[in-house]
Amino acid sequence: MRKPGTDESNVAMSDVLCDFCHRQWTEDEPMIEGHHGSCVCGKCVTLAYMQVVLNGDSTAPADFKCPMCLEATADREALERGGEHGWQSPLHDEAVFCERCIKLAADSLHKSKDWGWTKPTLEKA
Ligand SMILES: [Zn+2]
Ligand SMILES: [Zn+2]
């Protein structure tokens, strides 16, 4: 998300906030962009990946819309992903990260050479 009052024609790093923890983007933390300016930081991807992908938990309410892909429950049902897990931000209830986006974000951070981010594993968790 963008900090309120951000000039869209001149977006600075500090105007970019993680949708899930509202942290500002800084040089030492990776950030992945979703649709409509939504963003998630590396720390939230780590937490979500451990909980949803490694542990198989879902902390999402039954009905949620993921800010990264903008898919709601009905959209996922139409794509036969209706029962998909999600990760609800412990800080901001309205932010729920769908499992597919968690995996996509983790894959792209893991591949990126710009950040020292690696996918969490069960041993580390
Ligand atoms: Zn975050
Ligand atoms: Zn999603």
* Structural contact between residues 102 and 54, judged by C-beta atoms closer than 8 angstroms: no
Q: What is the pLDDT of residue 123?
A: 75
* Structural contact between residues 52 and 122, judged by C-beta atoms closer than 8 angstroms: no
* Ligand 1 center to 109 CA (angstroms): 14
* Ligand 1 center to 48 CA (angstroms): 10
Q: What is the pLDDT of residue 92?
A: 97
Bridge partners of residue 40, in order along the sequence: 32
Q: Is the pLDDT reported for residue 114 higher than 90?
A: no
- DSSP notation for 2-49: BPTT--TTS--GGGBB-TTT-PBP-TTS-EEE-GGG-EEEHHHHHHHI
Q: Is the pLDDT reported for residue 124 higher than 70?
A: no
Mean pLDDT over the full length of the chain: 94
Question: 3-state SS of 37-101?
Answer: HCEEEHHHHHHHHHHHHHCCCCCCCCCCCCCCCCCCHHHHHHCCCCCCCEEECCCCCCCEEEHHH
Q: Is the pLDDT reported for residue 16 higher than 70?
A: yes
Q: What is the pLDDT of residue 63?
A: 94
Distance CA 79, CA 93 (A): 25
* Ligand 2 center to 104 CA (angstroms): 9
Q: What is the pLDDT of residue 122?
A: 86
* Ligand 2 center to 44 CA (angstroms): 14
Give SS3 for 102. helix
Q: What is the pLDDT of residue 82?
A: 92
* Ligand 1 center to 80 CA (angstroms): 28
Ligand closest to the CA atom of residue 25: 1
The per-residue pLDDT for range 29-71, each reduced to its tens digit, is 999 999 999 999 999 999 999 999 999 999 999 999 999 999 9
* Ligand 2 center to 8 CA (angstroms): 23
* Ligand 2 center to 86 CA (angstroms): 8
